[in-house]
Homo-oligomer: A and B are copies of this chain.
């Protein structure tokens, strides 16, 4: 990783400080998500933010056991959307709301980095419980949950979780995911 920018500082670790995220800081994080692009500027994303102790308790109950570490975060966000709020294109067959939510969530995560925060997107949660936690209308999909807070000391995590956070980060080499001019015969 050659750059010092926010794209390279962003990481999905699992240790949080208990410190609250001030209103103005959280507002700026959400403002970053707000300015994401989306197909036909539909902005199908909805963010349910649990911060009050009771709301946080309810949201935590939606997390899968493997994400118990996220209960240390002072903020939990459920990202919700419905297909009908985004574009569906006949000429390419794509239903864009999930893609659009990805664009906005990445902005959210990067805006968090700019504020010294760490956001960790999670797929391990029960959607029905997440909907219940926020009294969300049933027709929405809960696409991911995000823990958000100031990064903490990884060495204080339980052994199994710490091992995950100490593992070197990896990505496929560009040669496996980026093809110039023509799909390679080997891919």
Contact = CB atoms under 8 A, between A and B. Distances in A.
A183 B143 contact: no
Contacts of A111: 5, 7
Number of copies: 2
A36 to B, nearest CB: 6
B179 A36 contact: no
By secondary structure, the A interface counts as: mixed
| Chain A interface category by residue count | 35 or more
A66 to B, nearest CB: 11
Nearest to A50: B181
Contacts of A154: none
A24 to B, nearest CB: 10
A124 interface: yes
Interface in A119-138: 121, 123-127, 130, 134-137
Nearest to A8: B35
A48 B106 contact: no
A109 interface: yes
Interface string A155-187: 000000000000000111010011111110001
A34 B172 CA distance: 8
Contacts of A171: 34-35, 41, 43
Interface of A: 1-3, 5-8, 10, 12, 27-28, 30-32, 34-37, 39-41, 43, 45-52, 54-55, 64, 87, 89, 91-96, 98-107, 109-111, 114, 121, 123-127, 130, 134-137, 141-144, 170-172, 174, 177-183, 187
Given A41-B171, A50-B181, A102-B104, 14 more contacts: A5-B111, A5-B114, A27-B174, A30-B178, A41-B170, A43-B172, A48-B179, A52-B180, A55-B182, A93-B141, A94-B142, A99-B144, A103-B105, A137-B183
